[in-house]
Structure formats: structure tokens, C-alpha cells
Amino acid sequence: MLAASPRRFFPSFDDLAARAPWTPLHASCPIRKIPANTLTVAIDGLPFAPTWFGDNFPSGGFPFHSPEDPPSWAQLDERVDVAIVGGGLSGLATAYNMRGRDWVLFDLRDRFGGNAMGEQWNRMPYSLGSAYFMVPDKESELDLLYRDLGVYELARIDAGDGFRVEYADVLLSDLCQDCTPDEIAAMKLYRAAVTDYANNNYPEIPWSDPDMQAFVQLLDTQSFHMSVDTACGGVTPPLLAKALQAYCYSSFGVGWDELSAAAGWNFVAAEEFGRLVLPGGNAGLATLYWKELASVAPRSNGRDRLRAGCLATNVRLEKEGVSLSWRDATGRVRTLGAKHLVYAGSKHIFRHMMPELATIDPEKYEALHQTPTVPYVVVNVLLNRNVPERFYDIFSIHDAQFPMYDESFETDRRITDVLDGTFAIATPHPSADVLTMYWPLPWHTARFTIIQPESFGEYAALAAPQIRRLLTLVGVTASDVAQIRMARWGHAMPYARPGAYAGNLCETLRRPVADRIWFANQDNWLLPAVETCLAEAAWVAANVPS
């Protein structure tokens, strides 16, 4: 699927700090500079910023878990060609692909990026959410897109050379250094399977033809756990099993028993070809899109095309086109008419924005209920010194009691990996660094544990001893910590259960309503990947009639 990448330009710290992409033009930029003197609260002796970042859950509840009743509508005061709702990577990419048309883009947050938002501290951008994407084939659509956006001028590649897994407070680069002969043989079979999926039988999602669809659906009959056991000749070696479980928790938000083998191999095989890492993680990609869109002139009525802090609440079909009710930054209700609406947010939200969909298109409405999503937490540790251990990603297994089932994770909540948040800056800051830690929440009621007022303190208390241990692992101490900032994401990642790709669920999720309401997001294919977001944005832009 993927080819070896050309040489990249790795920006130095001083060069990066001077570059325009990381200088916010106004407040809606996906990467935001944090104040020099921010408040902290001591928890277990560590300095935490005293609040969550990322998703905001007012009054301890989820937005859009029920429709507005009655819906708020104002007199129509604007008409556009295309209204795009959702300013994450999917929405930004859709607007980018529609630059020659009359579009507007809404996001409920006060800046764009979705869970690809970031922050900047000491002139160093880092991610609040997603972190990387894969090296594409040369001359592929994604390769050409990344060239146009300037990705390759800023990105650094993690080729996996510095692979590390932490187990029992020791960094390992070989998962089989203490294996039995049978386990060594099983590990070789696993490696052969990964290579075959990567080079010969890559499970494309979305698929490109009926043969690929049949192949994906064949893999989909098993869980990823079952498929890996089969690849290993019957039983996966214990440490490999724990490492793969940590990978699934981190990448999908669920364990390998709950994950379709098609989705599991899609991710694991793609890792073979390298990860593109931008300063700021995927917030760097969102910022490159945002810069291009922010340079487009306002609409003829003088209103901005980019509308952060504007809440889209209700959608309805009209005889010709679509009406959208939204609240501007002051809370005023407004109504916009559009020929087409592109929805680029989580499917669970849309069914509440348009409850009459159950009557208009019951098959589509039912499909929206079949898109499970999971939450996670990201912990950024800002340091007043450099980390001596150079790496990109360390998966943390902790110990032999690593929870191998989703339910057991609830009572033993573990941070599963730590990233070098400044990996894409070739020349380190002389006296500062950022570690980004990923904390999946892979049980079915997990999102309800991060929305209550007391949740911040509970999670900070659980995080503190884990942070101390991981700091020691990479050669720094608690005294080196300037601040810890935690971000929460309530519906960040869709996932594919075994059997999810059978039938026509994905086609139903993707198809438009009445050829006027379109869907561009990763939920269409139940795959939490940047590539899915960008592919769906391109597909929608190519298919929405002028």
C-alpha cells in the first residue's frame, strides 16, 4: 500500500519557531499559545493545570444527547452553496477541497481542529489529541495533497527504528528476548503475517473494488485477537499479546477482542511504512488546512467563512436545499439556507440535530445508531529540561497484571503510551521539552467518568503516580515538571466490531440524504484514521453537485 518516503526537511527549533504556520493569525487557529503564567494546582506533589482541556461538557452532561425541543429557528438571513458543520480535520479538508465554491464552515468550539487541536508552549507546538498519520504512496492522491499543503517541509518520519516497549520499568526493543523456542517461532509467524499484509494483501478501508471488499469482509469475520492467534500458529506469545492490547487500546480505544481483524491489520500493517509527525502532531496538519482557508476572502456579504464558536443546532430538508439553525458567538439564533449541507462530525450528534430523519430515511437513521465511539484522555507534561532518552513512542505495559479485558481496565486505568511531543523539531529546545501521554478508556460507560465536575481531580490523582513512573523511565524527575495539562475527548474514535464490514452498513453511513445532506468523517468507515477523514472529504467534495 505504502512506499518508502523521500528525504524530508527536518526543521530546527529556531527555524520552526520563526515559521508562520505556528503563529496564530487569530483565535480560531487550531494551535493556541498558552499564557506564560498559568495557574496550577498541586496533586500528589505535581503541578497540574486546574481544569480539563479538549471537550467541554457544560453542567456535567453531553451536548446533543437529545434534540432541541422545540427547535429554535430564526428568519432566514443568509444563503450559501455549501454549509459544512464540524471543523475538525474532515470539515477543514472538505472546505479545502471546495475552495472554488461558496462555502461556510461551523464549529462549536472557539477554534478549529476538533481532536486535532494543539497548544504552543515555549515556542513548541504539541498535540492535545491525535498525533500522527502514515507515509503515503509516492504520487498517490494523499502524497500530492501533502505536497500542496507543505506537509513534507515540516514533517519528520518515525520509521520505527527506535521501537520501545516498557515492561516492569525496563525499556525493551525486543519483545521476545526471553521467549521459549515455541514463542520465538510464533513471533516469526506474526512478523511474516505483518509483512504479508503490508506488502501483498493490505486490507484497504475504504475498499477500492469488489475483490478488496470481499477480502476485508473475510477478515471481518474474526476479532483481531482471533486473527493474530491464527497468524501465530495458535497462541500469541504473552508479551506480544500485551503489547498488541496496549496498541489497540491506544489506537482504537478498545481491546483486540472487541475489534474487527480487518481494522486491526489495516492499522498494524500500515505502521510498517512509517509515521509522518508534524510539530504539534495532527494539530499541525489542521493548522496547515486552516491557514489555507483563512486566506480565502470573506463572503460577498462580508461575513467570515470560518465560524468558530458557532453552534449548529438543527437541520431540516426544504423543497430546494437545506435549512440550518445555528447560534453565533453571542448566542443569537440564526438560520442559513444552503443548496447542500456536509456534516463532518460524529454520527451520534447528527441524529439529534435532525430527528425527522427517522421518518425521511429510516435505514440511514438506524445506521447512525451502529457507529460506536469511545473516549480517551491525553496528558501533556511540560518540562523545564530536555528528555535525555530520544524516542518517538513508548508503549507502556507496566507489569504482568496489564488488563487484557475492557472491563478489567475500568478498575486498573493505565496510561498506555508516551510520545516525545517535540519529536518533529530536529534541534531540541535548549531547556524545555514536552511529553504527550495517551490514556484510553476502553469500557462502555467510560465517557460518563470524565464529564462530572469532580472527574478532573479523580483522573489527576490516578495519573500522578503513573506520570512519576514514566518520567523516571525517560530520565527526568517530578522536579523537572513545569505543568501537566489534561485533555478529554468524549466521542473521539469510532471502532469496528467483528462483523461491522459485512452487509452495507458503511455504504449506508456514507450515502447522502436526498442528495442534499452529505457525510464526511471517519465514522463512515468506523476507522479512526486521518486518512479516512481526508478520503471522505475528497469523496464528498467530488460528488456534491454544483
Same domain, 152 and 174: no
Q: pTM of the prediction?
A: 0.93
Does any domain span residue 28?
A: no
Tell me, what's the pLDDT at 345?
A: 92
Same domain, 270 and 383: yes
Same domain, 338 and 477: no
Same domain, 250 and 315: no
> Residues 495, 259: contact at Cβ < 8 Å?
yes
Does any domain span residue 5?
A: no
Same domain, 148 and 296: yes
Tell me, what's the pLDDT at 37?
A: 79
Q: Is pLDDT at 371 greater than 80 in this prediction? A: yes
Same domain, 300 and 410: no
Tell me, what's the pLDDT at 424?
A: 93
Q: Measured between alpha carbons, how far is 96 from 527 in angstroms, rounded to an integer?
A: 22
| pLDDT bracket for residue 10 (50, 70, 90) | very low
Does any domain span residue 60?
A: no
Neighbours of 194 (CB within 10 A): 17
> Residues 254, 376: contact at Cβ < 8 Å?
no
Tell me, what's the pLDDT at 7?
A: 31
Give the lowest-confidence range in 132-141, 170-179, 493-502: 170-179
Phi and psi (nearest 5°) for 395?
Answer: -80, 135
Tell me, what's the pLDDT at 67?
A: 63
Residue-wise pLDDT tens digits, 418-435: 999 999 987 778 899 999
Same domain, 390 and 267: yes
> Residues 87, 308: contact at Cβ < 8 Å?
yes
> Residues 279, 120: contact at Cβ < 8 Å?
no
Q: Measured between alpha carbons, how far is 346 from 88 in angstroms, rounded to an integer?
A: 10
Residue-wise pLDDT tens digits, 246-298: 999 999 999 999 999 999 999 999 999 899 999 999 999 999 999 999 999 89
The half-sphere exposure of 496 on its side-chain side, counting CA atoms within 13 A, is 33
Same domain, 251 and 398: yes
Q: Is pLDDT at 15 greater than 60 in this prediction? A: no
Phi and psi (nearest 5°) for 449?
Answer: -90, -5
Indicate if the alpha-carbon torsion angle 157, 162, 167, 170 is positive or negative: negative
Tell me, what's the pLDDT at 427?
A: 78
Same domain, 377 and 268: yes
Q: Measured between alpha carbons, how far is 175 from 165 in angstroms, rounded to an integer?
A: 8
Does any domain span residue 51?
A: no
Helix, strand, coil % in the chain, rounded to nearest 5: 35, 25, 40
Q: Is pLDDT at 18 greater than 50 in this prediction? A: no
Does any domain span residue 59?
A: no
Last residue of a domain, one of 463, 478, 494: 494
Does any domain span residue 41?
A: no
Indicate if the alpha-carbon torsion angle 58, 64, 66, 69 is positive or negative: positive
Does any domain span residue 47?
A: no
When pLDDT is averaged across residues 360-383 and rounded to a whole number, the result is 95
Which residues, including other chains, have CB under 8 Å from residue 148's CB and lie 6 or more apart? none
Is 41 or 452 the better-scoring residue by pLDDT?
A: 41
Look up the domain containing 258 and give its range: 161-275+372-494
Same domain, 301 and 447: no
Bridge partners (DSSP) listed for residue 315: 324
| pLDDT bracket for residue 23 (50, 70, 90) | very low
CATH number at residue 80: 3.50.50.60
Q: Measured between alpha carbons, how far is 238 from 484 in angstroms, rounded to an integer?
A: 33
Q: Measured between alpha carbons, how far is 340 from 349 in angstroms, rounded to an integer?
A: 18
Q: Is pLDDT at 540 greater than 60 in this prediction? A: yes
When pLDDT is averaged across residues 33-55 and rounded to a whole number, the result is 92
Percentage of residues in the chain having pLDDT higher than 90: 78
Closest to 284 in 3D by CA, of 171, 128, 166: 128
Same domain, 307 and 402: no
Last residue of a domain, one of 477, 494, 511: 494
Closest to 281 in 3D by CA, of 439, 127, 114: 127
Q: Measured between alpha carbons, how far is 343 from 371 in angstroms, rounded to an integer?
A: 15
Is 66 or 205 the better-scoring residue by pLDDT?
A: 205
Neighbours of 337 (CB within 10 A): 16
Q: Is the peptide bond before 442 cis (omega within 30 degrees of 0)?
A: no
Tell me, what's the pLDDT at 62?
A: 61
Count of the separate structural domains present in the chain? 2
Q: Measured between alpha carbons, how far is 45 from 42 in angstroms, rounded to an integer?
A: 5
CATH number at residue 183: 3.90.660.10
Q: Is pLDDT at 335 greater than 70 in this prediction? A: yes
Same domain, 311 and 334: yes
Query: What SS3 state is found at 456?
Result: helix
Q: Is pLDDT at 20 greater than 80 in this prediction? A: no
Percentage of residues in the chain having pLDDT higher than 70: 93
Cα-based distances in Å from 128 to 152, 358, 418, 445: 22, 35, 13, 22
Last residue of a domain, one of 461, 479, 494: 494
Does any domain span residue 336?
A: yes
Question: What's the grid cell of residue 208?
Answer: 477500492
Task: Name the pairing type of β-strands 481-494 and 53-54.
Answer: parallel
When pLDDT is averaged across residues 49-59 and rounded to a whole number, the result is 87
Name all contacts of 72-77 with Cβ < 8 Å and 24+ positions apart: 72/313, 72/314, 72/325, 72/327, 72/333, 73/314, 73/323, 73/325, 73/333, 73/335, 74/325, 74/332, 74/333, 74/334, 74/335, 75/335, 76/323, 76/335, 76/336, 76/337, 77/334, 77/335, 77/336
Maximum average pLDDT range among 117-131, 171-185, 416-430: 117-131
Task: Name the pairing type of β-strands 170-172 and 164-167.
Answer: antiparallel
> Residues 493, 373: contact at Cβ < 8 Å?
yes
Cα of first residue to Cα of last residue in the chain, in angstroms, is 33
| pLDDT bracket for residue 26 (50, 70, 90) | low
